[in-house]
Amino acid sequence: MSEVAAETQVKQKGKTKKMSTRVDFTPMVDLGFLLITFFMLATSMSKPQTMEIAMPSKEKVTEEDQTKIKASRAVTILLGKENKVFYYEGTRENNIDPVVNQTDFSPTGMRQFLIKKNYEIMVKVRDLKTKKDSKNLSDEDFEKQKQEIIGDKKAPIILIKGTVDSSYKNLIDALDEMAICNIGRYAIVDITPFDLELLAKKL
Amino acid sequence: MPKVKIKRKSTAVDMTAMCDVAFLLLTFFMLTSNFIQKEPVAVNTPSSISEIKIPDRNIISILVDAKGKVFFGADGQENRVQLLTKMGAAYNVTFTPAELKEFSLVNKFGVPISLMKSYLALKSEERDLPQNALGIPCDSLDNQFKSWVSIAKGVNREYRIAIKADQATTYPVIKKLMGSLQDINENRYNLLTSLKNTPDYE
């Protein structure tokens, strides 16, 4: 250090100066922290999250190939303006329109209905998860068994339809609800005149 | 009584340890983080509970701002050169080697192919100005977006499509994009979101 260097200078007057090998590290520390600051500002630690979706292909499907979903299992979610959501079950039968309910994306809204609708499967998935958490199940097996459970034949089928007034956020929220409520079968579908008619009646 | 001599302590501290710490942190940050990519428009992604991470390479990133303007970007400089050459051939625009080189450095762009030449002539800081961020046409009359994606897919089969859209983007814009992707048989893609906590039902 500096005082050590001074001492040696006093002692060895006249002789060839022995330079201290000590280096002052302060500027190097400054440099180090400067670089850290730069990297913290110019980089991001987290990779963006992503949601993987698979859409149906547009290829023409013949009538008999199409799987007609049972109206009793179908739930239609309509994304309205100002984050409003409307849903109804089934479709028009014997000239009686299905009841359209209005709700929102809060935990007490849409989710309550979906949980009720998909209760059995949610319970099964939860059991499976406890099994995984207690280390009795590998991640791979968990995923496989989960897919089997949520692909259950009796599970509800959700159709997500966005109106022109809805936003991308609504769509993501709706897809999120599907993931939260363990719904295996859902699709993003174009809105039909029938849906618009129901909506117009509701509003 | 002997005089109590107060020893004067030096205020200089050994900086070696601190230097070690600083560089250790520096190394950590350099290894764990990745550079923020410059984007032509600010996009505020919606949050979701999905925890799947996007892969690092082979990404076609599609950026949609709140007004519905579409931006396109594909990674890999070699691929970009091929992409622009083929795209130019499809739309009867020939690009000089210098322009191709310039294009290979562009991360994301949002201009119609007819204006691509003048866009590439701009300085990089001028490119993101609002008047130059026009968005790629993707309506049914002139769907250049579709061509970009299908040609990029032709250049590199490994490409995955990632859509990053703003929360406030209206649904019809997204539907139009999804429809265009459906037309070229790209039915699997990723929607970029930021993280939100999963509610637990125990």
DSSP H or E stretch at residue A116: helix A110-117
* B179 located within any domain: yes
Record: contact B169-A40, CB cut-off 8 A: no
Say how far apart CA B80 and CA B67 lie, in whole Å: 27
Any chain B CB within 8 A of the CB of A119? no
* B17 located within any domain: no
Q: What is the DSSP letter of A188?
A: E
What is the residue range of A98's domain?
Answer: 74-118+155-202
pLDDT at position B109 over 70 = yes
pLDDT at position B106 over 60 = yes
Mean pLDDT of chain B: 83
* A25 located within any domain: yes
* A133 located within any domain: no
pLDDT at position B202 over 50 = no
Record: contact B164-A165, CB cut-off 8 A: no
Total-model pTM? 0.76
As given in the structure block, the two tokens for residue B186 are 């790209």
Answer yes or no: do A33 and A80 share one domain: no
* A135 located within any domain: no
* A142 located within any domain: no
The pLDDT confidence band at residue B200, using thresholds 50, 70 and 90, is low
Q: What is the DSSP letter of B113?
A: G
Are B86 and B153 contacting, i.e. CB atoms less than 8 angstroms apart? Answer: no
pLDDT at A32: 92
pLDDT at A34: 94
Are A132 and A146 contacting, i.e. CB atoms less than 8 angstroms apart? Answer: no
List, as ranges, residues 14-33 from B with C-beta within 8 Å of A: 14-16, 18-19, 22-23, 25-26, 29-30, 32-33
State which residue of chain A sits closest to B20, comparing Cα positions: A29
* A59 located within any domain: no
Q: How many domains does chain B have?
A: 1
Say how far apart CA B29 and CA B99 lie, in whole Å: 35
Instruction: Mention every residue, 6+ apart, whose C-beta is less than 8 A from residue A171.
Output: A79, A160, A162, A188, B171, B174
* A150 located within any domain: no
* A15 located within any domain: yes
Best of B16, B25, B29 to disrupt the A interface (most A CBs within 10 Å) is B29
Give the pairing type, strands A74-79 and A157-162: parallel
The CA-based angle B161-B164-B170, given to 5 degrees, is 120
Answer yes or no: do A80 and A165 share one domain: yes
Return the higher-pLDDT residue of A18 and B63: B63
A96 CA: distance to closest CA in chain B (Å): 30
Are A23 and A5 contacting, i.e. CB atoms less than 8 angstroms apart? Answer: no
* B21 located within any domain: no
Give the pairing type, strands A49-54 and B52-53: antiparallel
- Residue carrying structure tokens 């949610």: A122
- Contacts of B34-38 with CB under 8 Å at 24 or more apart are B34/A43, B34/A44, B34/A47, B35/A42, B35/A43, B35/A44, B36/A42, B36/A43, B36/A44, B37/B107, B37/B108, B38/B107, B38/B108, B38/B128
The pLDDT confidence band at residue B191, using thresholds 50, 70 and 90, is confident
Say how far apart CA B31 and CA B35 lie, in whole Å: 11
Answer yes or no: do A113 and A191 share one domain: yes
pLDDT at B159: 86
As given in the structure block, the two tokens for residue B46 are 């919606």
**A-chain residues within 8 Å CB-CB of B64?**
168
Answer yes or no: do A161 and A108 share one domain: yes
Answer yes or no: do A178 and A96 share one domain: yes
The pLDDT confidence band at residue B27, using thresholds 50, 70 and 90, is very high
Say how far apart CA A90 and CA A109 lie, in whole Å: 19
pLDDT at A95: 72
Answer yes or no: do A105 and A183 share one domain: yes
* B125 located within any domain: yes
Answer yes or no: do A87 and A167 share one domain: yes
* B41 located within any domain: no
pLDDT at A1: 46
Say how far apart CA B159 and CA B107 lie, in whole Å: 15
* B37 located within any domain: no
* B150 located within any domain: yes
Mean pLDDT within B103-111: 85
Give the pairing type, strands A43-44 and A85-89: unpaired
Mean pLDDT within B125-132: 78
pLDDT at B147: 86
Q: What number is the ipTM of this complex? A: 0.76
- Residue carrying structure tokens 């097996």: A141
B196 CA: distance to closest CA in chain A (Å): 10
Answer yes or no: do A10 and A104 share one domain: no
Record: contact A32-B193, CB cut-off 8 A: no
- What type of residue sits at position A80? G
DSSP H or E stretch at residue B180: helix B171-183
Rg of chain A over all Cα atoms, to the nearest angstrom? 32
Say how far apart CA A51 and CA A178 lie, in whole Å: 12
Q: How many domains does chain A have?
A: 2
**Residue B105 phi/psi, 5° resolution?**
-100, -5
Answer yes or no: do A9 and A97 share one domain: no
Record: contact A55-B19, CB cut-off 8 A: no
Answer yes or no: do A26 and A100 share one domain: no
- Kindly give the parts of chain A with pLDDT less than 50: 1-9, 12
Which of A23-37, B31-45, B176-190 has the weakest average pLDDT? B31-45
**B-chain residues within 8 Å CB-CB of A176?**
48-50, 196
Answer yes or no: do A103 and A164 share one domain: yes
What is the residue range of B101's domain?
Answer: 47-195
Answer yes or no: do A177 and A106 share one domain: yes
Mind listing the pLDDT tens digit for each residue in B139-164?
877 888 888 888 888 888 888 888 88
Say how far apart CA A98 and CA A70 lie, in whole Å: 15
Any chain B CB within 8 A of the CB of A164? yes
* B88 located within any domain: yes
Best of A23, A24, A167, A183 to disrupt the B interface (most B CBs within 10 Å) is A167
* A166 located within any domain: yes
**B-chain residues within 8 Å CB-CB of A58?**
182-183, 185
Record: contact B171-A164, CB cut-off 8 A: yes
List, as ranges, residues 58-117 from B with C-beta within 8 Å of A: 64
pLDDT at A58: 67
